[in-house]
Chain A
Amino acid sequence: MINTLALNVKTATVSTYQILKSSKLTWIGTLIFVIVTLMAVFAPYLTPYDPISQDPLAVLQEPSALHWMGTDSYGRDVWTRMLYGARISLFISVVAVVAAMIIGGALGIVAGYYGGRVDMMIMRVMDIMLSFPTLIMGLIVVAMLGASMTNLVIAIALTVIPKFARVARAPTLSVKKREYIEACYALGYSDIRIMVFHILPNVFGEVLVIGSLWIATAIRIEASLSFIGLGIKPPTPTWGGIIREGFNNFLDAPWIATYAGLAVLVVVFSLNLIGDGVRDAVDPKLRGE
């Protein structure tokens, strides 16, 4: 099995099946993430409450059979808000990572393909971006553009683009020396055609695999920004915003921040479990012999 994995790394394709097969924990991680995603999708069917309308008679109630995670200072059911918040937080994170994957991947391929000055310019800029802590970068971008869903996506995407550029550049460098690329030159194909149809397919697998790793980070950044108050404005529920609300009432209602944060922790942890399995599969050196 180790051999098949090693072989696959050479061709830069690791199938999902192999990753899942390689570790039980990856399975658990995937299962948790799928369940959470389904819960977000079917949120209205999983709760009798509304995430936004307030109930002055049920303010800051402790967790009970009626309100699993208690209620917040406006009398809203925290569990319901977490469910609806998952829609927004997951959506922003996934869209941002996919956008970063496309832009960063393209930049990496262009840098690796043209080499020389183009490469130096692109990678220099990427290095500078990379030298900024992801959270601070996100903070600056949202602060400058203003807090909205689009701007959050832009901010998170910008912080992850350089990572994808690096991941895409490395295999491009080796692929472009292959004979079939030389054949493409000989046939007079345009640069764009070569990059899109002949290099991209070889790079795609690796970029996709790394993408799954960055969703965890994206979720954390989104939650952190909303916690600071730079996320989507209330009353729209977001994970970071709910935890902030709980934090503001932590003396009266410590359960809000505790449970809401626990939910975020579980999701990030599950994604990291998946990421761990992926990394092990990509890098067989770290696996048992």
Chain B
Amino acid sequence: MLVFTLKRLLASIPTLFAVLTVIFVLVRIVPGDPALAVLGDSASEEVIQEFRKSIGIDKPLWEQYLVFMGDVLQGNLGLSMATGKTVVEEVSNVLPYTLELTVASIIIGVVFGIPLGIFSAIYRNHFFDYLARMVSLLGLSFPAFYISILFMIYLSVEWDWFPVFSEYIPWSDPLTRLYHLALPALSLGVIMIGYVARTSRSSMLEVLGEDYIRTAKSKGLPRNMVVFKHGFRNALIPILTLTGLYLGLLMGNSVLTEIVFNRPGLGGLIVGSLESRDYTMLQGLIVTYAFFIVLANLITDISYGLVDPRVKNND
């Protein structure tokens, strides 16, 4: 297992490199001079040169690239143009909030979505199946900001069940923090349930159609054993992959939910950096997102090995 994990870890390095290169190119082909964007049109030539020097964009491109790569590998994402603090500091301040939101919504999605999908597959074309399919399709049709607004208007404002706006709350007060996390997580969780339930249903259906399920049935094994031991375990592999893929979707959606609930997080940071044209912050945030997506893919890959021994042995 260790060898397998290490192999996967090594394999994700070139991807990360490629992603960083793309980010480097992307940020540089943007029309407009960041110096002008920050200093304004009226800045004198000297000030502009000084600024370009200070953020290192006066050097030739290849040198900028090497510096960028070196910095990123050392965990240095530069200084925020707007606040003057390091990007890493700004990001790590709010990152726990986004991570806990993401993790909580995945948990909600998996806990409710998998059983919903599995039973939907078992009772295919029965009433429960139709109902479950409609519910999950409706769930994933929700724009993230809309479901957040609905929850906020009706659960927080009208019924006063939850706090309207979230704020910084230290983990030393875990109950209050969870209380503030509940509604945002539920908003994203409902969408996740939709995706996870659909994935679970289709992969379970696929597995239930396999020959070995027929064999297991004809051996006279109890129905529950066939469904759960032979069926479910094999269906779990695609469910895991796709849940890993949905992590990206979730990160995008979390931006919207964070805005609606005014929650601290990467979403607020990214919108703030867009408004203040904070290019280093934007670049740093893209790197952060990229890092987490590569990490998510890696975790998904490794969990394959855990669920399906064939994956590990083939490697």
Contacts and interface: CB of A to CB of B under 8 A. Distances in A.
A220 interface: yes
A261 B249 contact: no
A247 interface: yes
Interface of A: 124-125, 127-128, 131-136, 139-140, 143-145, 216, 220, 223-224, 227-230, 240, 243, 246-247, 250-251, 254, 257-258, 261, 264-265, 268-269, 272-273, 276, 285-286, 288-289
B290 A131 contact: yes
Nearest to B266: A136
Nearest to A125: B22
B15 to A, nearest CB: 7
B143 A272 contact: no
A178 B149 CA distance: 53
Contacts of A258: 149-150, 153
B203 to A, nearest CB: 10
Contacts of B150: 258, 261
A144 B250 CA distance: 22
B163 interface: no
Interface in B14-42: 15, 18-19, 22, 26-27, 30-31
B30 to A, nearest CB: 4
B141 A243 contact: no
B142 interface: yes
Query: Main SS of chain A's interface residues?
Result: helix
Nearest to A250: B153
B26 A140 contact: yes
Given A139-B270, A228-B256, A269 B137 contact: yes
A243 B149 contact: yes
Given A131-B290, A268-B141, A273-B137, A143 B274 contact: yes
A131 B153 contact: no
A269 B282 contact: no
Dominant secondary structure at the B interface: helix
In the A-B complex, the 6 residue pairs with the smallest Cβ-Cβ separation, listed nearest first, are A135-B252, A133-B252, A261-B146, A133-B248, A269-B141, A268-B141
Nearest to A267: B141
A261 B255 contact: no
A251 B141 contact: no
7 contacts: A128-B15, A131-B19, A139-B252, A228-B259, A258-B149, A268-B141, A285-B205
Nearest to B209: A285
B232 interface: no
A58 B313 CA distance: 70
A145 to B, nearest CB: 7
B122 interface: no
Interface of B: 15, 18-19, 22, 26-27, 30-31, 124-125, 133, 137-138, 140-146, 149-150, 152-153, 157-158, 202, 205-206, 209, 248-253, 255-256, 259-260, 270-271, 274, 282, 286, 289-290, 293-294, 297
B149 A261 contact: yes
A269 to B, nearest CB: 4
Contacts of B286: 136, 140
B282 A251 contact: no
A17 to B, nearest CB: 22
Contacts of B145: 223-224, 227, 240, 243, 247
Nearest to A289: B209
A213 B206 CA distance: 21
A249 B203 CA distance: 43
Given A131-B297, A247-B260, A269 B138 contact: yes
Contacts of B18: 124, 128
B256 A135 contact: yes
A145 B31 contact: yes
Nearest to A285: B206
A158 B183 CA distance: 32
Contacts of A128: 15, 18-19, 22
Contacts of B27: 144
A39 B193 CA distance: 32
B157 A250 contact: yes
Contacts of B30: 144-145
Contact of B282 (A133, A135, A143, A220): A143
B157 A288 contact: no
Contacts of A285: 205-206, 209
